[in-house]
Amino acid sequence: MRRPGRRVLRRMNNCSLHHLQTSLMTLALLLLQPNTTLKVQALDLGIIRAFKASCRPRVVEPLVIAVDRPAANFPLRGSMYSAVRIMKAAWSEVTATCVRNCFRKAAFVDTQPEAKPDACDGQPRGDLWQRVMDSYMVTMTSVGAISFVPVRMPL
């Protein structure tokens, strides 16, 4: 970043932790107004939603197996290792097109005419969660698929 003539603009949410008292020579911070990060940050514009939508079936499907085949003695609890494996597999399903389009929506790159509005396919699979809830193995009726793995919907 210390290359001569190079300047970097970093957009950040307006959090008290981000207020720096130091002078930065090559970095300019643009602190956004409150409640604007949902509209201009690429992760909030669909990347997190696609990631969570890819995670959800991987979390719920083992529960469905446990419900459908109680004799299989399938564990209802996961390990940290299985959680990391789920996240790795889910992240690999978030397409480069989805990331690129979310950055376009956030105005990080120039919008090209051939750009599609959004290519994030991840849709919640509420039917799997409902099968788990309908079984006798899970009695928490106040917990739904959305509260189990929340997905922030774009505005």
Average pLDDT over residues 75-104: 87
pLDDT-derived band at 9, boundaries 50, 70, 90: confident
Who has greater pLDDT, 6 or 47?
47
pLDDT-derived band at 2, boundaries 50, 70, 90: low
Cα-atom radius of gyration of the chain, to the nearest Å? 21
Q: Which of 144, 137, 142, 149 is nearest to 75 (CA)?
A: 137
Average pLDDT over residues 129-141: 55
Asked if pLDDT for residue 54 goes beyond 80, the answer is: yes
Find the length of the chain: 155
Q: What percent of the chain has pLDDT over 90?
A: 10
What is the predicted pLDDT for the residue at 65?
81
- Using an 8 Å Cβ cutoff, are 75 and 138 in contact? no
Average pLDDT over residues 34-43: 67
Asked if pLDDT for residue 105 goes beyond 90, the answer is: no
Q: What is the pLDDT of the chain when averaged over all its residues?
A: 70
Which residues, in sequence order, are CB contacts of 81 under 8 Å at separation 6+? none
Asked if pLDDT for residue 155 goes beyond 50, the answer is: no
What is the predicted pLDDT for the residue at 112?
57
What is the predicted pLDDT for the residue at 150?
44
- The pair of three-digit structure tokens given for residue 20, joined into one six-digit string: 């720096």
Asked if pLDDT for residue 80 goes beyond 80, the answer is: yes
Of the listed ranges 35-49, 90-104, 131-145, the least confidently predicted one is 131-145
